[in-house]
Amino acid sequence: MKKILAIFAVAVFSLCGGKAFAQRCLPGMSAVEIKADMADGFYTGNSRDCGYSLGVFYSVYKGSANIWSFGGEYLQTYKPYGAKG
């Protein structure tokens, strides 16, 4: 029972203790990241009065822990002129 409790405690502390990376960054590896976000909060309506963000990034891992990253991001926000209510 003590062994199971110790394993459970290690698992909980490792999940709650910050960032965890599951992939090794070996020289010559590359990665593509595609992002899509809501900028003005979560929106589920028929109108197009909402903000969004789109992005594409490309990363190449070089030796000695060097990373080259290239990319771009577009942000569209919705700011109405008058305040409602």
Helix (H, G, I), strand (E, B) or coil at 65: coil
Helix (H, G, I), strand (E, B) or coil at 15: helix
Q: pTM for this structure?
A: 0.54
How far, CA to CA in Å, does 18 sit from each of 12, 14, 23, 73, 85? Answer: 11, 8, 16, 26, 41
- What pLDDT shows up at residue 42? 64
Distance CA 57, CA 33 (A): 5
Where do the domains of the chain lie? 25-85
How does pLDDT run across 38-78, given as a tens digit for each residue? 877 666 665 666 788 899 999 998 877 788 899 999 998 87
- What pLDDT shows up at residue 25? 74
